[in-house]
Amino acid sequence: MTGLQFDVADGVAIITLARPEVRNAVNAAMAVAMSQALATVESDPQIRASIVTGQGGYFCSGMDLKAFLRKEVMRVAGGGFAGVTEARLTKPLIAAVEGYALGGGFEIAMACDLIVASEDAKFGLSEVKRGLVANAGGLIRLPRQIPIKIAAELIFTGDVVHASYLAAYGLINRLVPAGQALETARELARKIAANAPLAIAASKRVLYESQDWQAAELFARQREITDSVFTSDDASEGAQAFSEKRTPVWRGR
C-alpha cells in the first residue's frame, strides 16, 4: 500500500503511516491506502482491533501542503480525510502517537476510539496558521472530547501542546515513556481482541450512537442493538467457557 505498512498479528492490525521524509503527511495516495486498509480490517473476521501509528518518530503532521498545492484530494468517499476521519468502523481503532500529531494528524487521532501517546508527543490544530480550518473532525470532535473552552483556545490559536496537557483533560488513555506508545497500544488491542466480537461491535455502536438519543428512548434503542448479542452463539460460549474454566472460542455469531 502506497505510503502505508499493514501488518496483522494476534488478531490486531497495525497500520503504519510510512512517509517519514515528510513527517507522515497525508497525500492522496496515502488516503486511498488507508481507506483500503480499514476496509480489510472490517472485512476480515480474524482481525478484532487495529492500531494506527507512524514511522520515523512521528505520528502525522497532517495534510501534505505540497500535495494540496498540486490539487490532490486527501479525502476518500465514505472515509473522509486520510480515509479515516469519517469512516464508520465497527471494530475498535487505537492511535499510537509518538512525536507530532498536527492538523489532520491530530484529527486522525481524535477519530480513533482510544489514544496512547508518548510523554514527548505533541498535538495541535494548526490549520488557522495556514489559512485553513480543522474541518476533518477537529472543530466537531475536540469540543466533544475535552472542555469547550480549552478546545476553543486550541482551535483559535493553533498552538501546539504536550500530550500531558491533553491527558489532564481525559483525551489520552495512556501516557507512556517515549518509544513505548505502539507496544502499549498493542497491549490494549490484544485485550480487546480477546473479547467477543459481537459484544464489542454492539457496545461500540451504542457508545457513540446513544450520544444523540433522547432520554426517554435510551433503553429501547439500546435493546434494538444489544438483544441479539444475548441470544448469540458467542453468549452461550462465554457462559460455557466460564463454567468450564477455559478460554472462550469466539465465532462472531
Grid cell digits, residue 226: 444489544
Q: How far apart are CA 123 and CA 131, in angstroms?
A: 18
Answer yes or no: 244 catalytic: no
Single out the catalytic residue among 86, 107, 224, 237: 107
Question: Rounded to the nearest 10 degrees, how much is the dihedral formed by the CA atoms of 132, 137, 139, 144?
Answer: -170
Is the separation of the CB atoms in 18 and 32 below 8 Å?
Answer: no
- The per-residue pLDDT for range 39-84, each reduced to its tens digit, is 999 999 999 999 999 999 999 999 999 999 999 999 999 999 999 9
Per the DSSP assignment, residues forming a β-bridge with 93 are 50
Quote the pLDDT of residue 163: 98
- Who contacts 224 (Cβ-Cβ below 8 Å, separation ≥6)? none
Grid cell digits, residue 28: 492522496
Answer yes or no: 127 catalytic: yes
Sequential DSSP letters for 92-113:
-EEEEE-SEEETHHHHHHHHSS
- Tell me which DSSP letter residue 17 carries: E
Quote the pLDDT of residue 204: 97
Burial 17-32 (b: 16+ CB within 10 A, else e): bbbeebbbbbbbbbbb
Grid cell digits, residue 39: 476496509
State how far the alpha carbon of 242 is from the alpha carbons of 209, 228, 239, 248, in Å: 31, 20, 5, 8
Single out the catalytic residue among 127, 153, 187, 209: 127
pTM: 0.95
Sequential DSSP letters for 24-57:
T-B-HHHHHHHHHHHHHHHH-TT--EEEEEESTT
What stretches in the chain show pLDDT beneath 70? 1
Residue for cell digits 469512516? 87
Could you give phi then psi for residue 249, rounded to 5 degrees?
A: -110, 105
Q: What is the CA radius of gyration of the chain?
A: 19
Quote the pLDDT of residue 171: 98
Sequential DSSP letters for 167-209:
HTTT--SEEE-TT-HHHHHHHHHHHHHTS-HHHHHHHHHHHHH
Q: Is 20 helix (H, G, I), strand (E, B) or coil?
A: helix
Quote the pLDDT of residue 2: 82
